[in-house]
């Protein structure tokens, strides 16, 4: 009974450790916290001889992390999706449980291998963690939210590794650092074989921040990022349409920047029914600024009324261009396995909840003398897809509608993800959102300017274009995943050799 109680206490502790890990992410930015909480989790796992118990520890850590870190999903489902509270709570618990399976499986396999070398154990812990993070961010279109690497953007010394190995590589370093920290404390602080590599890694990241991977191109361009602050429950109401159109027309006409950006589907109409005079008037204003305006609209396919896209259109000095969103949100923008889950559309009551995908190989737009890579809302969570438009693009633009998150920590977490994309690519990231966080982020992931959330305003500033390619832009996630695969093979061979030796 004592052992049973002890096991329960451990599970409660690691659940709390998982919840505490959220402090490492925006809006808190306490980047050392995940290293400490993961060190404690890995310590419990290292002392456990049972793969099942390690899996339970990983699962409870995940439940703590996600139940505290993605509560905004409940806000989306219940407050704006009209889902009844009990169903929304159950849906959130199911999602958190699914996401928690990934750390559980990683720690199960780590313990199953029964490695005796501390350094190999630490390296394999890091490799398995990012393999399962990558799987979480890939399977069923992926949900790569709260990856450990994001907690280090942009203030941690480890952010210096972002242009080289991206967010998954930083996740790997975070977990490896946590394992080294555990062994350093467990074996004694005088055991410098664990402390010295830990210190060198973190100082190395700081040194990497001094490297300039990209070069400025030309003079900065004036930009205006518009935040219409249209309430989510009003956005699709026909009696509110005129107010929405007037709000964005006013914000555009008050902006004299060369590049003006409105949020995702800022005008809740199909492009073919928006009054031509309205768009012509705004395009003429953009031309008078010697620039362009980006406007978010729904776009119906010419050959099929049931096929429609989430699209950004450009109007102004450059020829009209468009970008169609490629990576859609399951159950929000498309319904997977529609014969099985089609009923979800009726429950959620989300307008236009079955978009079609744009192609993956869309090119940057020529706007205001820049080559602009567009990504819409959730798309900036997938760094490996963002780099498809690089190094041709000189800057990045993310348009979003985070009103679905309400006043939760979700919008701030999304901002931090954009900061990581800026670090990885060495490009400015311009964020225009409906309710916030609208921001100008420089190539080092620093927020240069922002405006208050839930206000109707325009953010006016300067954005510098850049050329060149970071190592991450050139190679993506392949080096990190390759290293993780190699370490996994070494771990498996070592475990196999040890098992044969003990027979």
Over the stretch 453-475, which tens digit does the pLDDT of each residue have? 999 999 999 999 999 999 999 99
**Helix 478-501 with 118-136: angle, nearest 10 deg:** 130
pTM of full prediction above 0.85: yes
Range(s) of the chain covered by CATH 3.60.110.10: 216-326+359-469
- pLDDT per position as a tens digit, 150-185: 999 999 999 999 999 999 999 999 999 999 999 999
Measured distance CA(370)–CA(220) in Å, rounded: 10
Per annotation, catalytic residue among 45, 333, 377, 384:
377
Measured distance CA(130)–CA(503) in Å, rounded: 32
SS3 226: strand
Write the CB contacts of 214 (distance below 8 Å, at least 6 apart in sequence).
426, 427, 443, 466, 467, 468, 469, 470
Residue 256 CB coordination number (10 Å): 13
10 flagged as catalytic? no
pLDDT above 70: residue 334 = no
Q: Which pLDDT score, from 0 to 100, does residue 4 have?
A: 43
Per annotation, catalytic residue among 133, 264, 299, 333:
264
Per annotation, catalytic residue among 325, 333, 379, 384:
325
Dihedrals phi, psi of 409, to nearest 5 degrees: -85, 0
Cα dist from 313 to 19, 178, 292, 460, whole Å: 41, 46, 10, 20
Q: What percent of the chain has pLDDT over 90?
A: 81
Dihedrals phi, psi of 122, to nearest 5 degrees: -65, -45
Pick the CATH number of 216-326+359-469 from 3.40.50.300, 3.60.110.10, 3.40.50.1100, 3.40.630.10: 3.60.110.10
377 flagged as catalytic? yes
- pLDDT per position as a tens digit, 41-98: 999 999 988 999 999 999 999 999 999 999 999 988 888 777 889 999 999 999 999 9
């Amino acid at each position: 009974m004592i052992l049973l109680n002890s096991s329960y206490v451990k599970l409660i502790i690691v659940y709390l450790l998982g919840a505490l890990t959220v402090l490492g992410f925006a809006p808190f930015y306490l980047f050392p916290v995940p290293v400490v909480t993961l060190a404690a989790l890995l310590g419990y796992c290292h002392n456990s001889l049972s793969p099942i118990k390690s899996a339970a520890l990983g699962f409870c850590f995940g439940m703590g992390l996600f139940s505290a870190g993605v509560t905004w999903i409940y806000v989306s489902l219940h407050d704006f999706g009209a889902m009844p509270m009990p169903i929304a709570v159950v849906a959130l618990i199911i999602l958190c449980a699914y996401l928690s399976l990934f750390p559980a499986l990683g720690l199960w396999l780590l313990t199953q291998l029964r490695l005796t070398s501390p350094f190999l154990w630490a390296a394999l812990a890091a490799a398995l963690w990012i393999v399962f993070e990558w799987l979480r961010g890939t399977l069923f279109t992926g949900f790569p939210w709260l990856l450990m690497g994001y907690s280090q953007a942009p203030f941690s010394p480890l952010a210096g590794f972002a242009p080289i190995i991206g967010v998954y590589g930083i996740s790997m370093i975070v977990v490896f650092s946590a394992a080294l920290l555990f062994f350093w404390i467990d074996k004694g602080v005088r055991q410098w074989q664990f402390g010295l590599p830990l210190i060198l890694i973190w100082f190395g990241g700081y040194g990497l921040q001094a490297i300039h991977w990209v070069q400025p191109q030309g003079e900065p361009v004036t930009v205006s990022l518009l935040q219409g602050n249209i309430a989510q429950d009003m956005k699709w109401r026909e009696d509110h349409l005129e107010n929405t159109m007037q709000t964005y027309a006013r914000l555009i006409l008050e902006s004299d920047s060369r590049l003006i950006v409105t949020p995702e589907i800022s005008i809740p109409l199909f492009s073919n029914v928006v009054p031509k005079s309205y768009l012509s008037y705004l395009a003429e204003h953009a031309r008078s600024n010697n620039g362009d305006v980006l406007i978010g609209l729904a776009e119906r396919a010419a050959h099929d009324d049931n096929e429609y896209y989430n699209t950004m259109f450009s109007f102004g000095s450059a020829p009209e261009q468009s970008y169609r969103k490629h990576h859609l949100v399951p159950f929000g923008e498309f319904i997977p396995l529609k014969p099985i889950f089609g009923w979800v559309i009726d429950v959620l009551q989300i307008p236009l909840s079955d978009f079609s995908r744009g192609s993956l190989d869309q090119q940057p737009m020529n706007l205001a003398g820049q080559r602009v890579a567009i990504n819409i809302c959730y798309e900036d969570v997938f760094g490996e897809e963002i780099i498809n438009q690089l190094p041709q693009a000189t800057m990045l633009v993310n348009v979003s509608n985070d009103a679905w998150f309400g006043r939760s920590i979700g919008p701030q977490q999304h901002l931090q993800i954009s900061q990581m994309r800026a670090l990885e690519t060495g490009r400015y990231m311009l964020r225009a959102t409906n309710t916030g966080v609208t921001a100008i982020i420089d190539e080092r992931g620093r927020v240069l300017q922002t405006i208050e959330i839930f206000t109707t305003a325009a953010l006016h500033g300067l954005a510098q274009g850049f050329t060149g390619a970071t190592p991450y832009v050139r190679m993506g996630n392949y080096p990190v995943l390759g290293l993780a695969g190699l370490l996994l093979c070494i771990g498996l061979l070592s475990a196999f050799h040890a098992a044969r030796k003990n027979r």
